[in-house]
Amino acid sequence: MNRFISRLRTVGALVVYFTRRERMFLAPLLLVLLLASLLLLLTGGLGYVAPFVYSLF
Amino acid sequence: MAAARTAEGAGIAYVLATLTAPIAFATRARTARQLFAFALAEHESMLELRAAAARSPSPERCALYLRHALDEERHATAFARHSAEIRRALGLPAYGQPRTECESLYERLGERSFLAFVHRGEHRGRAQFDAYVAFFARRGEAKLRALFTALIEDERRHESYTRALLVEHAGGEREARRVLATMALWEAFRRWRRVGSGLARLVYGASMFVLYLALFPFALALRVLRPERSIRGGWES
Amino acid sequence: MAAVLGISAYYHDAAAALVVDGRVVAAMQEERFSRIKNDAALPIRAARACLRVAGLGAGDLDAIVYYENPFAKLERVLTWLLRNFPRSYGQFPRAIAEQLGSKLWVLDGIAEGVGAPRAKVRPSDHHECHAASAFFTSPFEKAAVLTVDGVGECATTTIWKGEGSALTALGHIDFPHSLGLLYGALTAYLGFEVNEGEYKVMGLAAFGAPRFRDEFAKLLTLRDDGSFELGLPYFAYDTGSNVGFSAKMERLLGPRRPVGRAWDLDSDASDRRFADIAATLQAVTEDALLALAREARRRTGAEALCLAGGVALNAVANARLLREAGFARVSVHPAAGDAGGALGAAILGSIALGDPRPSALTSAALGEEIDVAAADSLARALGLDPVRISDPAATAAEHLLRGEIVAVCQGRFEWGPRALGQRSLLALPGDPKVRERLNRVIKRREPFRPFAPAVPADRAAEWFEEAPSDLTAFMTTVCPVRPSARARLGAVTHVDGSARVQTVTGSSAPFLDGVLAAVGKGADLPVVLNTSLNGPGEPIVAAATDALGFFVGYPVDAMLVGDLLLVRDRKRESES
């Protein structure tokens, strides 16, 4: 839970950073990024190489 | 019964390796790639064992893990060297030094489960290498046969000390078997997740393509608001 | 009176540094713990080790400062992707995955990993941290500060004025115009690994002549105001994590050198050509750095120069800066790369909380102390025969004088990429056979790589010109070896007659100082060859486990861990 709140704080700071004047036009891009983040949540996985496992091919 | 069960596991590993070897080592290029994949596996094993040695409270176990780690490092170098030789003979650049991350499995699993995991890996690996020795003997490739034959010696040693340590640490044969069975499940779950993450990667890639197209209006906006001449170099302010 | 932890992570060389009450208490790179070279992962182990050295807990920290601003970085990455739309498609998925997957959440990751409240973690500025690491650890009250690297958030090159406890920004050059990325791209072109191979390119340069100036003029243009511009079509920039050269560069300079091919500068004409390319790269980089340094002098009027950023690791260029840039003194932080940013961040945080700037750095021994008792029990468990001795320095010298290669692990391990007597491999400097054995069997490096000498600071001038200086204490420069001394210093003199000297004092490296004194009595030449204690492809040894792993794995003749001596039993080895 703490982790989630902490990350919300970061998201808040991110929004503040991107809504400053010269970066305004990037702000809607945050929506695109948000979608990408959701996708990333699904792919958080293991590397292709594992210790003590010799891949068959 | 334990011996039978693990022999069964090794039996499966041997059979699978025998079946897949013709695919895995189909061409010289594939052989080089496969050998380098083994180099990476050995390298990551080395890192895991070094981490275990650094954390283990007992100097005796630390010494065992350290020697094991040094063996894995030697194996990684041998695989990488053979891979590079084949690549060079094909006129291709070598894959470079093996470089991997480390999952810190000793820390995550605890010593007992770690020993079981390593034992299963060495046991399976030895069976796989047995299959490759036979395979390269049939193909008449003396060098690669010799490589795997030499490695099997080390794997046998690793297999036996890890089992002995596990029995000692678990406090008996029965408990050791239980831990081994638990780790078998854990590994199966990892394999499943790996397949899943492979698929997810494909989904991610496809979705990102669509998202990339959505960047088009922003790219236009950027060209208007921050023109090219601002990346001409030289001092800013 | 504050305790501030500085962190660098996720790009190159993760590290943690701790400043308490304005004193640098500890600084360590994560690679020394994880055993992964140039490990960029969050340096949680290094951070915990720093706290252990200080005897503090995470709750005692007043602030944790990260060495750059992740939002500014994200902005630059996005801008670059957009600017290169649609060509940037290839980089898009991975760049976004890297940024949104981990890099954006670095401050949260640090808070969780260290065990401190998120409110105490704050970002900083990449180049400001480099500048702080250089200036605030230097002996100068006032100096010009020049930071040059691949890229920070957006800037690649910055000039500052340092005065007392203040740093004032005076100018910057932005991405993609970057000397670090230029050197990195050519490093890749020459078949080396980027961020590891740059030293090798620098060593290779001495074997060639700068015959490609016309071609390089297309890659790098110097301007009258000291700044520079890169020929962008020749590079394949992506979002900054991988550096590349484009097909256009291969048309200009010829096909790239394949990775992993063995070097043969004696009989292979194409390898000599590559050496000439390396030499030209070195020459134009030096010219650019000189122009920048002169501009820094013009803008600040200072007599002293501080350097940081990855390009400041180029010792050959530093020597030229000292000679020609017009400054009376030049100082380079021992961990000039991204690791140094962690220390800079901690110092900036400390000053912001009201503490004075630290005193000048005299020793790089900022790591964790080696556990001699643990080494003893591990050695016995390995079946070795450790012996406690009364005078380690004298014993080391005895073995060296017999022509042996001796590994030493003393006290706290070094901060930065150089071994300075705390985790070193030592040998006498005269015998080329020793150098060949070291290079071939132990370190397994390319044959053109030189070794470096260590000499007492008060006698350095007898054998080396331009020594001692502010740079030689941390091996950040090269010095010409006096012609009369070259015969006796064969193993440590590079082909161009220079050596990357370490000048040693009792306070910078007391054990090594003792060894040099003893060797000097025995051989009348108090100079030793000093190379880092590590095998090929691994980070420098840090703890007892690594040390003993090295002794078992590589054929050194003897090892000294604290007052513990291990001698290789060749007879027993040949029997087994």
- pLDDT at residue B7 in the model: 55
- Distance CA(C540)–CA(C554), nearest Å, equals 14
Residue B74 CB partners (closer than 8 Å, separation 6+): none
A17/C contact by beta carbon, under 8 A: yes
- pLDDT at residue B4 in the model: 47
Residue A19 CB coordination number (10 Å): 12
- pLDDT at residue A49 in the model: 62
Burial class (CB within 10 angstroms; exposed 0-12, middle 13-18, buried 19+) of B197:
middle
Which chains form contacts with chain A, at 3 or more CB pairs under 8 Å? B, C
Burial class (CB within 10 angstroms; exposed 0-12, middle 13-18, buried 19+) of B69:
buried
Q: Which two three-digit tokens encode residue C432? A: 């080329």
Which chains form contacts with chain C, at 3 or more CB pairs under 8 Å? A, B
- Distance CA(B207)–CA(A35), nearest Å, equals 9
H or E element, residue B201: helix B173-213
Who among A7, A18, A23 is closest to C105 (CB)?
A: A7
Q: What is the pLDDT of residues C316-358, one digit of tens each?
A: 999 999 999 999 999 999 999 999 999 999 999 999 999 999 9
Shortest CA distance from B79: residue in chain A? A54
Whether B37 sits inside 8 A of A55 (CB atoms) is: yes
- Within 8 A of A56 by CB-CB distance, chain B residues are 16-17, 20, 24, 128
Would you say residue C229 has pLDDT above 80?
yes
Task: Give the gap in angstroms from C-alpha B74 to the nearest C-alpha of chain C.
Answer: 9
Residue C460 CB partners (closer than 8 Å, separation 6+): C467, C468, C472, C479, C501, C503
- Within 8 A of A43 by CB-CB distance, chain C residues are 97
Who among A51, A55, A57 is closest to B44 (CB)?
A: A51
A41/B contact by beta carbon, under 8 A: no
- C237 vs B110, residue with greater confidence: B110
Burial class (CB within 10 angstroms; exposed 0-12, middle 13-18, buried 19+) of B183:
buried
Residue C35's region, left for phi above 0, alpha for psi from -120 to 50, else beta, is left
Residue B234's region, left for phi above 0, alpha for psi from -120 to 50, else beta, is left
> Would you give the distance in Å from CA C64 to the centre of its chain?
24
Query: Where residue C575 falls among pLDDT bands split at 50, 70, 90?
Result: low
- Within 8 A of C177 by CB-CB distance, chain B residues are 231, 233-234
- Distance CA(A19)–CA(C570), nearest Å, equals 69
**Catalytic site includes residue C130:** no
ipTM: 0.92
Task: Provide mean pLDDT across the span C3-24.
Answer: 96
Residue C327 CB coordination number (10 Å): 20
B55/C contact by beta carbon, under 8 A: no
Average model confidence (pLDDT) for chain C? Answer: 93
Q: Which two three-digit tokens encode residue C289? A: 């750095």
List the single best residue of A16, A17, A38, A41 to mutate versus C (max C Cβ within 10 A).
A17
Query: Where residue A46 falls among pLDDT bands split at 50, 70, 90?
Result: very low
- C261 vs C390, residue with greater confidence: C390
Whether C108 sits inside 8 A of A6 (CB atoms) is: yes
Phi, psi of C369 (to 5 degrees): -70, 145
Q: For the structural domain made of B2-208, what CATH number should be given?
A: 1.20.1260.10
Pick the CATH number of C3-126+338-352 from 3.30.2290.10, 3.40.50.280, 3.10.520.10, 3.30.420.40: 3.30.420.40
Who among C41, C93, C223 is closest to B234 (CB)?
A: C223
- Distance CA(C202)–CA(C314), nearest Å, equals 7
Which DSSP letter does residue C333 get? -
Q: Would you tell me the crossing angle of helices B173-213 and B2-24 to the nearest 10 degrees? A: 30
Going from N- to C-terminal start, the domains of chain C cover 3-126+338-352, 174-332, 372-575
Phi, psi of B137 (to 5 degrees): -65, -45
Task: Provide mean pLDDT across the span C356-382.
Answer: 97
Residue C486 CB coordination number (10 Å): 15
Going from N- to C-terminal start, the domains of chain A cover 2-33
Task: Give the gap in angstroms from C-alpha A14 to the nearest C-alpha of chain C.
Answer: 6
* Chains B, C: CB pairs < 8 Å: 128
DSSP-based three-state secondary structure for C41: coil
Whether B59 sits inside 8 A of C378 (CB atoms) is: yes
Going from N- to C-terminal start, the domains of chain B cover 2-208
- pLDDT at residue B124 in the model: 94
- pLDDT at residue C100 in the model: 85
Task: Provide mean pLDDT across the span A27-55.
Answer: 70
Q: What is the pLDDT of residues C113-164, one digit of tens each?
A: 999 999 999 999 999 999 999 999 999 999 999 999 999 999 999 999 999 9
Q: Which of C269, C291, C286 is nearest to C208 (CA)?
A: C269
Under-70 pLDDT residues of chain B: 1-10, 227-231, 237
DSSP-based three-state secondary structure for C380: helix
B231/C contact by beta carbon, under 8 A: yes
DSSP-based three-state secondary structure for C302: coil
Angle at the Cα of C86 from the Cα atoms of C80 and C89, rounded to 5 degrees = 75
Q: Which two three-digit tokens encode residue B27? A: 């061409």
Write the CA distances from B63 to B47, B66, C32, C558, integer angstroms. 15, 5, 19, 19
**SS3 assignment for C173-214:** EECCCCHHHHHHHHHHHCCCCCCCCHHHHHHHHCCCCCCCHH
- Distance CA(B99)–CA(B102), nearest Å, equals 10
CB C502 within 8 A of CB C315: no
- Map tokens 């020929």 to a residue: C231
Which DSSP letter does residue C451 get? P
Whether C71 sits inside 8 A of A23 (CB atoms) is: no
Write the CA distances from B114 to A53, B101, C546, integer angstroms. 14, 17, 20
- Within 8 A of B235 by CB-CB distance, chain C residues are 171-173, 225-227
Task: Give the gap in angstroms from C-alpha B172 to the nearest C-alpha of chain A.
Answer: 24
Looking at this protein, which amino acid is placed at residue C507?
Answer: S
Whether B88 sits inside 8 A of C261 (CB atoms) is: yes
Residue C507 CB coordination number (10 Å): 10
A46/B contact by beta carbon, under 8 A: yes
Would you say residue C460 has pLDDT above 90?
yes
Whether B62 sits inside 8 A of C93 (CB atoms) is: no
- Map tokens 């705390």 to a residue: C422
Angle at the Cα of C184 from the Cα atoms of C416 and C186, rounded to 5 degrees = 135
Rg for chain C, CA atoms, rounded: 23
- Within 8 A of B97 by CB-CB distance, chain C residues are 193, 536-537
Who among C41, C93, C380 is closest to B208 (CB)?
A: C93
Task: Give the gap in angstroms from C-alpha C82 to the nearest C-alpha of chain B.
Answer: 5
CB C144 within 8 A of CB C302: yes
Who among B101, B200, B203 is closest to A47 (CB)?
A: B101
CB C333 within 8 A of CB C137: yes
- Distance CA(C431)–CA(C465), nearest Å, equals 22
| Fold matches, C3-126+338-352 and C372-575 | no
Q: What share of chain B is helix, strand, coil (3-state, %, to 5)?
A: 85, 0, 15
A51/B contact by beta carbon, under 8 A: yes
- B192 vs C552, residue with greater confidence: C552
Reported pTM: 0.94
Report CA dihedral (B73, B74, B75, B81) to the nearest 10 degrees: 110
Size (chain B), residues:
237
- Within 8 A of B219 by CB-CB distance, chain A residues are none
Would you say residue A1 has pLDDT above 80?
no
- C96 vs B44, residue with greater confidence: B44
Who among C82, C174, C545 is closest to B236 (CB)?
A: C174
Q: Which of B228-237, C116-125, C256-265, C397-406 has the lowest mean pLDDT?
A: B228-237
Task: Provide mean pLDDT across the span C254-275.
Answer: 91
DSSP-based three-state secondary structure for C485: helix
Whether A25 sits inside 8 A of B204 (CB atoms) is: no
Would you say residue C240 has pLDDT above 80?
no
* Chains A, B: CB pairs < 8 Å: 91
Q: Which of B171, B165, B179 is nearest to B61 (CA)?
A: B165
- Distance CA(C235)–CA(C249), nearest Å, equals 7
- Which CATH superfamily does the domain covering C174-332 fall into? ATPase, nucleotide binding domain (3.30.420.40)
- Map tokens 């110097």 to a residue: C222
Whether C96 sits inside 8 A of A36 (CB atoms) is: yes
Task: Find the catalytic residue in C12, C127, C130, C333.
Answer: C12
Which DSSP letter does residue C357 get? P
Q: Distance between the two ends of chain C, CA-based, in angstroms?
A: 59
Pick the CATH number of C372-575 from 3.40.50.300, 1.10.1740.10, 3.90.870.20, 3.90.700.10: 3.90.870.20
Shortest CA distance from B74: residue in chain C? C553
Report CA dihedral (B179, B185, B188, B190) to the nearest 10 degrees: -80
Q: What share of chain A is helix, strand, coil (3-state, %, to 5)?
A: 65, 0, 35
- Distance CA(C330)–CA(C338), nearest Å, equals 20
- Distance CA(C45)–CA(C487), nearest Å, equals 45
